[in-house]
Amino acid sequence: MNPALLAGLRVVELSAYVATPLCGLTLAQLGADVVRVEPLGGAADRTRWPLSDSGTSLYWSGLNKGKRAVAVDLESEADRRRVADLIVDGGPCVVVTNTSRHADLGYEALRARRPDLIHVLLDGRAGGGAAVDYTVQAATGFPLLTGTGSAPVNHVVPAWDVCAGLYLSIGLLAAERHRQVTGEGRSIRVALEDVALATAGNLGYLAEAQLTDHARTKSGNEIYGTYGDDFETADGVRVMIVLLTERHWQKMLAATGLSDAFAGLGESLGISFATESDRYRHRDVITPLLARWFGQTPYAEVAEVLTRHRILWERYRSFAELGRDGGAALRELTLFGEVDQPGAGAHWAPKSPIQVDGDRLPPRPAPEVGQHNGDVLGATRS
């Protein structure tokens, strides 16, 4: 069964950094023909860390696997016309971009030539204000809940970029469905700040701030409103456990042999551990007893017991561990396939997380600067 569901979809991507390249990657991994348009010499994010030993950006390579690439002088009206021709000539096209710098490559100008155009634009803020993931993080409230110290801590994962890239993909595919039905194009816009604030609202955090006097504080690896925390085993391995339901809680008590201890504690203190809220409220009672069990138990036994009792848990692993021995741990996962990236070398890279009838397209290398100029722009008008 062919997992290339988007075969035949033409996408022209004028973008940089995370969200819009991720949108293009998501489409390419499902079979779309994605052409990345860059300035002469390559986009600014081609040198972004992490780098291979030879200086090739592994960041850029990771976000641009399987695309084609052309390089043009975007300050040249003639070259911008070539890009516009690429977009409007031939079959229906989708434009994905995070810039409105050049009006002749904007939605209105392109739609005048191609009414069925789908144009997808990422803004920093609604209305066009500038922002990036790490500045958006500062405005949302999340960094004030992260970490354990007094200072705000931004997350190392650019979560809003990632979410925005996927929202762009969803909006784009909704517009493509509309085009298939009606023949009409659409302008789709997503603002990075809107994505972050919508998430804070959808999770109830903003409603809580408006409707209650609950003051959220930093809680390390504790999980707000339920029971979860990290523990160190007798031989120094750290694990994270999550107990969402009463069934999880009872399984944890059975696994650790602490059923009678907690029953006695509940009776003597006049408290209950029956509900998710109860367990969060009384985490200061729960954690010391669990920490004592973990601290007296070697990791191998912890792993066996928690797995046998179907507890939600995992051992903390570093990137170095995941990549050790040529990515031995990654080779075991069907998500990964080997790719030989020019300038970097052969390594295990992810396919799409989306499985189509149990299958996924293999990863393909990211393109070199201007690699497809002849194939893509040779047939366009100059």
Sheet strands (E) in the chain = 10-14, 33-39, 68-72, 93-97, 118-123, 186-191, 227-232, 238-243, 312-315, 336-341, 345-350
The Cα angle at residue 31 between residues 27 and 33, in degrees rounded to 5? 75
**Residue of 33, 123, 161, 229 with catalytic role:** 161
Distance between CA atoms of 61 and 69, rounded to whole angstroms?
12
Coil, helix or strand at residue 205: helix
**What values do phi and psi take at 353, rounded to 5?**
-65, -15
| Contact criterion met (CB below 8 Å) for 160 and 136 | yes
Distance between CA atoms of 238 and 108, rounded to whole angstroms?
55
Active site residue 123: no
Identity of the amino acid at 230: D
Identity of the amino acid at 26: T
**Burial (Cβ within 10 Å: 0-12, 13-18, ≥19) of residue 218:** middle
> H or E element: which one contains 63?
helix 58-63
**Active-site residue numbers?**
161
